[in-house]
Amino acid sequence: MSAISPFVAIRRDLHQIPELGFQEFKTQQYLLRYIQSLPQERLQVRTWKTGIFVKVNGTSPQKTIGYRADMDGLPIREETGLPYRSEHEGCMHACGHDVHMSIALGVLTHFAHHPLKDDLLFVFQPAEEGPGGAKPMMESDIMQEWRPDMIVALHIAPEYPVGTIATKEGLLFANTSELFIDLKGKGGHAAFPHLANDMVVAACTLVVQLQSIVARNVDPLDSAVITIGKIAGGTVQNVIAEHARLEGTIRTLSPAAMEAVKRRIEAIVRGIEVAYECEAAIDYGAMYYQVYNDPALTAEFMRFAEAHPGMNVIRCKEAMTGEDFGYMLAEIPGLMFWLGVDSPHGLHHAKLTPNEEAIDRAIAFLIDYFSWKGNAE
């Protein structure tokens, strides 16, 4: 059996301790222990909640280059059967954040020993999967003090082979919002429906009406998705339900479409209240801003990647996936790209198994890219 690289070993360690948003206590301590093992002469380390900022001071800085890696796992029971599978029952790194952190540590390790002319800021961000760590991290005093002039992030892509980078100028990921709707009416005996207000019927009607929003209220040249992934209502088969709850997601390719969809949802829900003589409450939960890549920086990045040995660059289409890195790109020029990891199972799948060869290849590529950007005259 061949030896694995140090950063693949780190990925496996992190894979065993996935934690949910703002609960990444073990993860934070693991990262801090490793960071403290590096040469400290040019490092400044500060914590924010369960996240970490690491600044690598340059030799003659003119600007600061930022790199972000997310930290949290998902509430998914792992089914990979790997010897280094999750030790936290019901929680898994099913979105590749263990890979993201390992790559970031690899890049940080190089520059802790070989600093650039410019400053580098590594942002280890909690709660990407929810409730959203990027926006409050952006607003933190630390980020305001160390605010980078540009920022980069990656996300693993199971559908692409190792050695593939996929991105595009402009819009890459959608605007997203969670959606929770509670309906409360009057329950009763199943034999006397005229004396009750059935919230199961109200919920079913609402689901059908919500689908009309995309078909009839969104510009056909724009795009939106409304998905209701869960409905809960009632207690037993012969009692009319006095409560029902809908849980779903909204995704749009423009902020304007998101606002329009929400206005229409609210109007339809008001109609349900009148029609079914019930009370309704809407909660949009976590909302993520679109990931919009700076056109000039992204075009430059893609040219660099195309010239890099062993890298295949794909100009991909925008996706309806959500990423709170969009809040950082809304204020700081930068870009996100997909990194191919060639897994038969996709993101958020209980059997996601990224090809670990992608880790060291990504580290080498990013070291070359940041060296080129951070040593430029």
Residue type, 164: T
The answer to whether 293 and 170 are in contact (CB under 8 A) is: yes
- The whole-angstrom separation of Cα 273 and Cα 202 is 9
- The whole-angstrom separation of Cα 321 and Cα 290 is 9
Our CA angle for 144, 112, 57, nearest 5°, is 40
SS3 149: coil
Please list, in sequence order, all residues whose beta carbon lies within 8 angstroms of the beta carbon of residue 308, skipping any fewer than 6 positions away. Answer: 365, 368, 369
- The whole-angstrom separation of Cα 345 and Cα 81 is 14
How many CB atoms are closer than 10 A to CB 276? Answer: 20
> Rounded to 5 degrees, what are φ and ψ at 271?
-65, -40
**Which tokens is 79 given?**
């089914």
Q: Is 227 exposed, middle or buried (0-12, 13-18, 19+ CB in 10 A)?
A: middle
* Of the candidates 100, 118, 133, 5, the residue with the CA atom closest to the CA atom of residue 57: 118
Active-site hit among 24, 118, 119, 129: 129
Query: Residue 193 gets which letter from DSSP?
Result: G
Q: Pseudo-torsion of CA 135, 136, 139, 144, nearest 10°?
A: -90
Active-site hit among 70, 72, 119, 342: 70
70 is catalytic: yes
- The whole-angstrom separation of Cα 80 and Cα 353 is 7
Question: Which runs of consecutive H residues, i.e. helices, occur in the chain?
Answer: 6-15, 25-36, 97-113, 134-138, 141-146, 199-217, 255-276, 295-306, 326-329, 357-374
SS3 297: helix
Active site residue ranges: 70, 129
